Amino acid sequence: ETGVTQSPTHLIKTRGQQVTLRCSSQSGHNTVSWYQQALGQGPQFIFQYYREEENGRGNFPPRFSGLQFPNYSSELNVNALELDDSALYLCASSEELTTDTQYFGPGTRLTVL
């Protein structure tokens, strides 16, 4: 098991609502990356946070936003939920921007009805 934790484990929302997902990084890791994994597909990079600043973003609309806190934990916020947002959301933590050795959490399963 990695030291990366995510909450909640499961979540059900309706279209148009907003959701906040949380991630606690492994001790000593100051970089957090978020991924979306649709059913039957590989994870897709959403964005990365390093020392409380966004440091790179994948092909996701602005309604996907995030935060990183001084203790390096992170939040992923999604506004105006759409059905296609249903997925497993993974966070991964690593040291000093390098993602070569990143440790994934178990994910949050989001279902949008």
Note the residues at the interface with other proteins (CB under 8 A).
2, 4, 33, 35, 40-45, 48, 55-56, 58, 90, 92, 97, 99-107
State the Cα torsion 36-76-32-100 to the nearest 10°: 10
40 vs 62, beta carbon nearer other proteins? 40
Nearest to 101 by CA among 49, 33, 39: 33
Handedness of CA 44, 49, 50, 53 (dihedral sign): positive
1 vs 27, beta carbon nearer other proteins? 1
17 vs 101, beta carbon nearer other proteins? 101
State in angstroms the smallest separation of the CB of 113 from other proteins: 22
DSSP secondary structure code for residue 85 in this structure: G
